[in-house]
Structure 1
Amino acid sequence: MASATANRWLRPEVLKSIPTFATVGVAVGICAAPTLKVTKDNRAAEVLGNFEEGEKYSQHAVRKFVRNRSPQIMPSINKFFSDPNIPN
């Protein structure tokens, strides 16, 4: 029913151009969005150009918690299966 209503009020040429207008509209919206700084030099000062706030943002509690830990999910199980000196 929606297509019958659209065909009644709009010409077929207009209906065929709607996806093009939508695509161009999305592209313009993406281009108008604010840019992000993703370089390593600017990551600490990312939040509003404020270095202290950016440092707080980039060095959050989870990162501080895992900073000096082993990068393994289950280190005790990995050690059990990989270390030949542990008795069974």
Structure 2
Amino acid sequence: MASSTMNRWLRPEVYPLFAAMGVAVGICGFQLVRNICINPDVRVSKENRAAGVLENFTEGQKYSEHFLRKYVRNKYKLLLINLNSRNRPGM
């Protein structure tokens, strides 16, 4: 029984599925850990939960304006720059 299951799922055709699922689980795990550890709205300890709603705008701004968002903000947002520049009217 176990060998037939292994032969069914461990084929080279299934490797991209495993890779895609691994990437998806990794992204979800990263977001979970990031939110639990550094999100100012998530409070795990009992003392922090008792504080209620906090007016911590600077901490929230620091959390939402992370490195990747700052890096991408002023970049050119088109993926296929050469192809898109040829198809624009007036160019």
| TM-score bracket for this pair, using the shorter chain length | 0.3 to 0.5
**Larger helix fraction of residues:** 2
**TM-score of the superposition, structure 2-length normalised?**
0.31
Which protein has greater RCO, CA pairs closer than 8 Å, 6+ apart? 2
- Mark the structure with the bigger radius of gyration: 1
